[in-house]
Amino acid sequence: MRIAIFSDTYPPQINGVATSTYNLVNTLKAHGHDVLLVTVNRTDTKFNFSEGVVEIPGILLKRIYGYRLAPIYHGKAMRVIRDWNPEIIHNQTDAAVGQFAKIVARHLKIPIVYTYHTQYEDYTYYVTKGNFDRIARNVIQYYSRMVAKGSTGFITPSVKTKEMMRMYGSDVHISVIPTGIDFSLFEENKIDKKEVDEFKKEHGIKENTLVFLILGRLANEKSMDVSINYYAGFLKKHPEIDTKMFIVGGGPARNSLELLTHELKIADKVEFIGPVPASRVPFFYYLADVYTSASITETQGLTFMEAMASRTLVLARYDDNLTGVIEDNETGFFFTSEDTFIEKVERIIASNQEEKERIHENALKIIEKYSIQTFYENVMEVYLRCVKKYW
């Protein structure tokens, strides 16, 4: 099948949509399909087309974490896509590239599948700054219904997101397909142990140091400040325990998060690594003892599953979206407050190796259903159903 995938973000950018798009492109290619990726040129303002990738030039928006805004129509890109002759379009975004995807689908009279990756209500403050927030949410709900209605096939990565669409009033058929992960990338034998030892020595990590990891885009909606505050609470209660927290990623909230560590007087315990390429991410999971996140805006929680695949203990703020992935005290740990955060860390410290192994093994069994092969099969089922509608 000839599949054109539209996304405004792609590695080396680090975010859930970029990861999902990357996994989709690669699994389709691995199964013999022809794939054309249409995205934004992330490095300059030129139009490029090579090796199955169309890069549309965009305007750099420095205030939005270096995001580039492409036009909703590009003549050269349209000619390339028309000549390539896709059978179906898979749209991963609502930004300008996503609007272009809709134009192409109408022009070529082919089906379009849409994956609703982002809960946009959690991002309204970027535009409203707290003003007219209710109006903005109503607009988002209306827009989401229209997007679903205008797609040949509609996918959400979690049941929670599907239920949210129902709450918005959408009655279209919705396929729940969690993004697949190539778990082989996180196997221990892929890690350079010598490099890990050198990193630990360089950063003052001793044999008994408990290492925490926060990983992802540093932005307000990720609630990383919550994890940092709770970590400070743990340090205050247990100054005798040697710990270190690494924060991997970049974004608009970095300065405020760094300031917070100084205000809490824990800057010596928290180190900001900055953004790293996707190939480097498994290294930091392996380095950490505990991966923690307080975000409740994830549509499925890819980082939680990556951590679990890396045999790193997961400590997450409770969210309905994680039900079925994290089972408290069985595949990971939930916290709901500073007290429960501290309580779960104390439990982790008190756990013997046998108990930790039990949790790791349970976690690996749970995430099997999120394999890249299962993801591929589910997506192809949607594609075939949508193509039949155009026969």
Query: Is the model more confident about 39 or about 66?
Result: 39
Pair 84, 126 in one domain = yes
Please report the pLDDT score of residue 279 as a whole number: 87
Pair 165, 189 in one domain = no
Pair 380, 309 in one domain = no
Pair 133, 253 in one domain = no
Q: Is the torsion defined by CA of 135, 139, 142, 144 positive or negative?
A: negative
Alpha helices (H) in the chain, listed in sequence order: 16-30, 75-84, 96-108, 125-128, 133-149, 159-168, 193-202, 224-237, 254-263, 281-287, 302-309, 338-350, 353-366, 372-388
CA 113, CA 153: separation in Å to the nearest integer? 4
Res. 88 pLDDT band, cuts 50 70 90? very high
Structurally, the chain folds into a number of domains equal to: 2
Judge whether residue 126 has pLDDT over 60. Answer: no
Please report the pLDDT score of residue 131 as a whole number: 56
Question: Burial letters for 328-361: b for 16+ Cβ neighbours within 10 Å, e otherwise?
Answer: eeebbbbbeebebbbebbeebeeeeeeeeeebbe
Pair 103, 246 in one domain = no
Pair 361, 379 in one domain = no
Choose from 66-80, 162-176, 320-334 the range with maximum mean pLDDT: 162-176
Pair 169, 276 in one domain = no
Q: Kindly list the distances between the CA atom of residue 117 and the CA atoms of 105, 113, 209, 283, 302, in Å, as whole numbers in the listed order.
A: 20, 13, 37, 26, 12
Grouping H, G, I as helix, E, B as strand and the rest as coil, residue 226 is: helix
Query: Is the model more confident about 91 or about 296?
Result: 91
Res. 221 pLDDT band, cuts 50 70 90? confident
Judge whether residue 12 has pLDDT over 80. Answer: no
CA 129, CA 139: separation in Å to the nearest integer? 16
Tell me which residue range forms the domain holding 341. 183-369
Res. 6 pLDDT band, cuts 50 70 90? very high
Q: What is the CATH number of the domain that holds 98?
A: 3.40.50.2000
Cα–Cα nearest to 83, from 106, 104, 56: 104
Query: What average pLDDT does range 210-231 have in this prediction?
Result: 94
Judge whether residue 38 has pLDDT over 80. Answer: yes
Judged by average pLDDT, the poorest of 57-61, 221-225, 311-315 is: 57-61
Please report the pLDDT score of residue 278 as a whole number: 82
Residues contacting residue 342 through CB under 8 Å, at least 6 positions apart? 230, 233, 234, 237, 238
Question: Burial letters for 221-245: b for 16+ Cβ neighbours within 10 Å, e otherwise?
Answer: bbbbebbbbbbbbbbeeeeeeebbb
Average pLDDT over all residues of the chain: 91
CA 264, CA 274: separation in Å to the nearest integer? 20
Pair 56, 198 in one domain = no
Pair 226, 156 in one domain = no
What does 63-82 look like in DSSP terms, one character per residue?
GGTTEEEPPS--HHHHHHHH
Beta bridge partners of 39: 55
Pair 116, 190 in one domain = no
Pair 304, 162 in one domain = no
Judge whether residue 127 has pLDDT over 60. Answer: no
Res. 121 pLDDT band, cuts 50 70 90? low
Res. 335 pLDDT band, cuts 50 70 90? very high
Residue 136 tokens, joined? 């903005």
Alpha carbon 321 to its chain's center: 13
Pair 348, 380 in one domain = no
Query: What average pLDDT does range 339-361 have in this prediction?
Result: 96
Residues contacting residue 194 through CB under 8 Å, at least 6 positions apart? none
Q: Are strands 67-69 and 59-61 parallel, antiparallel or unpaired?
A: antiparallel
Judge whether residue 64 has pLDDT over 60. Answer: no
pLDDT over 70, % of the chain: 94
